[in-house]
Structures are given as structure tokens and as C-alpha cells.
A and B are shown apart, each in its own frame.
Chain A
Amino acid sequence: MENLLEKYAKIVGVEVIDHIRQLANPLKGARILHVNSTKVGGGVAEILNRLIPLKRELGIDAEWEVITGEKEFYKCTKKMHNSLQGDRDDISSDLLAVYEKTNLQNFERLRDKLEEADVVFIHDPQPAAFLHFSKARKGKWVWRCHIDVSHPYRPVWKYLREFVKDYDASIWSLSAFAQSLNHPLYLIPPSIDPLSEKNIELPEKEISDFLDSWNIRRDCPIITQISRFDRFKDPIGVIQSYRLVKNYVPVQLVLAGGGATDDPEGEEVLREVRAFAEDDPDIHILELPPDAHRAINALQRGSDIIIQKSLKEGFGLTVTEGLWKGKPVIGGDVGGIKLQVINHHCGFRVNTPEGAAMRIRYLLKHRDIMETMGMNARQLVLDNYLITRHLREYLTLVVALLLGSEEKIELNYPSH
């Protein structure tokens, strides 16, 4: 049976997989433990679900453990998450006591594995206090921050900082997110998995069936923004852009995002968006369940242009997904979109609804350019933002941590 690495080799090339295999050679048998707070749902779990089997295939003894906690613990870590992203939300000392107690309980449960591992990756703030409780660790410990911490609410960051400052290294998605700490701040951008339901190739019929089910016509250009209903994603600005285009060219707009039932602000934004759309039959507002990966895939593949007109953005994996499907992307000039959307190459970065409208009209008028940009877009992701690159960087980091700390690490080899 074909193994996972062979499946990826068909997409990224055999030489890329051989390169990964060789890099992993000195790590054979190494015990690497990842700890996060959930096995399902969310980007971290998605990545670990694939990275762990890949590492195991490479001969690394990789394991993944998940912490557990009561409702109050998650209340605290949710607040922590929001504050690290900039919300000015103080956390009560009672909640922080729950955070520390839950960390201690989970640490005690996992102590043997944690202290025996050669490398421990602790993901995000939830289990970050583990290191504080460890008195006899054997390996290197790395804190992996998946959050946009570019402008954290300082009191909360100062609290968390006390727990993460003693790690051997930390990993950040973008240099703009990295906070000053007295250890190496590695930069590893996130990635998408080309074999996942959200990104795998789909039959044309399935794409058409999905579009039909939402009454989206295929004979009229489709512009799509996929994101939760959040003001920072500027859905109103997207509708304004659509209207500016509609005056000149027939076009449909799709705004698709996760359900907003547990997010009061999301519900409010969704109401505003619906009101602003004024029952325009060419504006399709779709509320999709969190596991609608294939539907999102079909929407992206069925669209002519992907838009992500964010006013504030982390890395912007929906942009990566759109680019991977060979679509030009029009994105806000913020966060990780700046890394991914290269003007005139695979799309355009814009600052206003007018800018987005101008670029949409330009692309719809120049289908040949759209096609070239689509090809560039896919290549950009193939070269830089697939999970195989992510895996390679994790391996490089582990080699660097275990086998040397200097700028250039030469694994034993004879000279020419």
C-alpha cells in the first residue's frame, strides 16, 4: 500500500521527499512529543493530525498528547487567546488559578512522557505552564505559538511570558508576531495539506452540484470571500466592492463563513451583512458548518476570483487555499496576506473597497492574465506553503536544537 510520503511525492516531487528523508535520518528513534488542547477542530489539530503520522513514517518516535480541563479552564484560555490577539480583557486571579492547577494536573498525568522526550513541542498558551512544573526534564522544550501576538494586551502577555521564557526556543508564524524572549525565536509559517478534504482535487460534477445547491450560477463570474463574519474581515467593504463592479460587469458575490451561534458579535455582523446586501439575488450569504471542508473546497474551485479583504489578519490560510486552487486572490494589505499575495503575480493587495473593485474589473476583463496569475498562485503554494515545507522546517529545527546551536550546522560528512 502507498504510504503517506509517497502520496505527497506525487504532488511535490520525489526529490522533495528524499530531501526530507535525509534530513530526518539523524533523528531516527528520537522521541518527540507534541501537546495541545484538542484532538479535533481548529488549525493546530489539523496540522498535527498529519504531521505526527509523517514523522512516524520517517522513523521518528513522535507522539501527540492532549490536555483536558474543566469549563473554567477553557474560559480562561479563551480569554487568554483573545487578549494575546489584542483584546483588552483582564483575567481574574481565580481563573488564572484554575489555569495553573489544570496545567499541574495534566503535567502530573503526562510527567513521564514529558520528562523522557528528546524534544517537547507545547502548542499555544493552554499547556504553556507545563515547563514550570518540570524539575527533571531530559530534552529540549519548544513553545509553538500559533496566534497573532503582534499587539498583545500587555498584562496577559506578561503573565504568560513568565511561563514561556524558560523554554529552549519558541516558534512563531510571522516575524511580526514574535515577542522578545531570551531564546531563539524560530519562524515557521503555517501550511495547508493538499490531501485534506478542503484542498484535494474535486470532480467537476461535485463542484457544480455544490454550486447548484446554493443557487449559484456558473454562467456569471463568481467572486468569493470565505471567512467568519467578523468586522476585521470587512464583509461590508466586500459588498461595496461588488456593487462598484456590478455597475459595469455582471458578477455574483459569495460570502461564506462558519455558523455564528456561539459568537454574539458574529451574529450581529451577520445581521448587518444581510441588511446591507438588501436581498440582492446575486449576493449569496452562506452559513456553513465547521466541518464543511468539501463544500468550501468546491466553492473555492468554482469561483473566478477569491477575495480576502481583511483589515487585520493572522496568516490568512483561506488565502493559501484559494491560491492553491489556481485562483487569483485580491487581499487586504495586512498580516500574512502580504507574504502570499504578490501584486501582479498571483493577485493584488488592496486598501479600499474601490481598490478591490478596480482589481476585480481588471481581472474579469483580462482572462488570460487571470489564468497566468492562477498558475503562479498554485506554484507559490507548491513551493512554500504545503505541509511538506512545514515538516521540513520542523525537522530542521529539531536537528538544530539537538545537534548544534551555531549558524551553520554540519552533520558529519567527509569533505569532497
Chain B
Amino acid sequence: MGNQPFRILDSALIAIATGQKAQNLREFRDILKNIHSGSIYYHFWGGLLHPHFDEPEFQNDFAVWAARDLHDLKIAEQLSIIDPNIFRDIEELRQEVIEIIEERLYASEHVPWVKAGHEFHFIRSQIVIFDSGITYDNPRKLAEAIPKMSLGSIFFHFIDARRRTPESRNDFSAWLSGFNDKYTSLISGLDEIDPYFTTLNELRQEIYKVFNNYFKGGRNGKSA
């Protein structure tokens, strides 16, 4: 086929306290300006790999805090809708968050604050990437393996891939595009998946559904 086999990698994340915490929106903004970039990554994406609950109303930790603890739904909504995928790097994303907060501070008559015990704790993370030892050279076989893939693998190949690959895409699509135009509709289906507003469990199901529809639906089944 001329394409390298797809190697399943896996990842595991561990959280690290930065020791920095904010009790009001101004402190929050000030800390955000200098906090380790890994902390911004963690609070946007790490939520998928650390304890969380299904169907979150607000997608990143900043928005959750604004809603639950600051009780400022306006800023919670504005923070929640930020799509981290569209920023070239963490620094651009950091700037966007700061600007939203600054606008809110400018428009507010007072600085929103939380009571003791409800501060925002800035956390960063370390991620370990390791080899599962499994490879696939056939996309159909890869499709069959998806339901059994660990959530760490889904995170690595579908989420983390976006900050590794030049076109910010997922590894599955990148690999499939190596088969020339053979899997164009499958690639489109995968690219259309919104990795936000979901959990890794649901994301795994969604990816499988796209693969499964492609191969079972016969859109290009015979070629695989």
C-alpha cells in the first residue's frame, strides 16, 4: 500500500498542582498571564483525561469555575465557547482567554469573587506516551480495533494529535490520507467529528461509528 502501518500509541496523564490559586477574576487574569503553558493545556484538554462527569455544561475548567463558583454565567458562556483547536499555539489561546476576562473586568462594576474554599487552583500535567506494540496496515482492521482502544490512545491519536500535526488534524485522518484518495469520504467523516462537548468514551464511539458506517455502508467498502 505504500503507507507505513498505523502504530497504536497510548498515553497516561498525571496532574501536578502549581500552587497558584485565584479568589477573584482579577487575580485569575493576573495568574493566567504567567502561568506555565502546560496549565492552560491541562485546563482545556486535560479534562478529558482527569476525573470529570458526563455531559458537562461548560467545556473547560475555566468556564466551569466561572459558572459554578463565580456565578458569572456571562463569562462562563464566553469562556466555554472558546475552541482551543483554532489557535496556533497555547500562547495565542492564553491571549484569547485573557482578553475575554479583561473585557469582562472592564464592563463589571465590581470584581467577581468567590468565597474561601472555592478558589480556582491552577493545575498542570505531565503526559507519558508509550507504545502499545500493536500496528495495523489495513484501515478495516484499525476500525475493528477502535472499540477496544484505551481512552489514553483515543486521547493521543485524536486530541493530542492536533498540537503535533502541521494541519492540526487527528492521526487517523493523517494516516488515511497516505492512501492517496482512497479514503476521502472516511477522512471527511473523521474530520467532521467535534472533539469538544463530549467525553473520551463518547468520542471513541463516534470515531467507531464513522469507521463502521464507512466500511459497513459500502461507500468504499470493497476497496478496503
Given contacts A19-B152, A342-B53, A411-B131, contact A187 B16 (CB under 8 A): yes
Given contacts A346-B53, A416-B171, contact A400 B126 (CB under 8 A): yes
Cα A379 to Cα B7 in complex, Å, equals 30
Residues of A within 8 A of B196 (CB): none
Out of A14, A15, A176, A393, name the residue touching B117 (CB < 8 Å): A176
- Chain B's interface: helix, strand, loop or mixed, by majority? strand
Give B53's nearest chain A residue, CB to CB.
Answer: A342
Given contacts A185-B19, A408-B126, A416-B7, contact A400 B148 (CB under 8 A): no
Which of A21-29, A58-66, A301-309 lies at the interface?
A: A21-29
In residues 96-152 of chain B, which contact A (Cβ within 8 Å)? 117, 119, 121, 123-133, 148-152
Cα A407 to Cα B16 in complex, Å, equals 10
Cα A393 to Cα B125 in complex, Å, equals 12
Which bucket holds chain B's interface residue count? 35 or more
Is there contact, CB below 8 Å, between B10 and A23? yes
Is there contact, CB below 8 Å, between B54 and A379? yes
Check: B31 CB closer than 8 A to any chain A CB.
no
Cα A22 to Cα B125 in complex, Å, equals 20
Cβ-Cβ contact count across A and B, 8 Å cutoff: 117
Given contacts A376-B54, A407-B38, contact A400 B149 (CB under 8 A): no
Check: A96 CB closer than 8 A to any chain B CB.
no
Given contacts A176-B121, A380-B53, contact A409 B127 (CB under 8 A): yes
Residues of B within 8 A of A412 (CB): 131
Check: A286 CB closer than 8 A to any chain B CB.
no
Cα A414 to Cα B121 in complex, Å, equals 37
B35 to chain A, nearest CB (A): 13
Is there contact, CB below 8 Å, between A172 and B17? yes
Check: B215 CB closer than 8 A to any chain A CB.
no
Check: B2 CB closer than 8 A to any chain A CB.
no
Given contacts A385-B51, A414-B7, A416-B6, contact A23 B12 (CB under 8 A): yes
Given contacts A383-B51, A407-B125, A413-B9, 9 further A-B contacts (CB under 8 A): A15-B149, A19-B150, A185-B17, A334-B117, A345-B53, A345-B54, A376-B54, A395-B12, A407-B126
What residues of chain B have their CB less than 8 Å away from a CB belonging to chain A? 4, 6-7, 9-10, 12-17, 19, 21, 38, 51-55, 117, 119, 121, 123-133, 148-153, 171, 174-175, 201
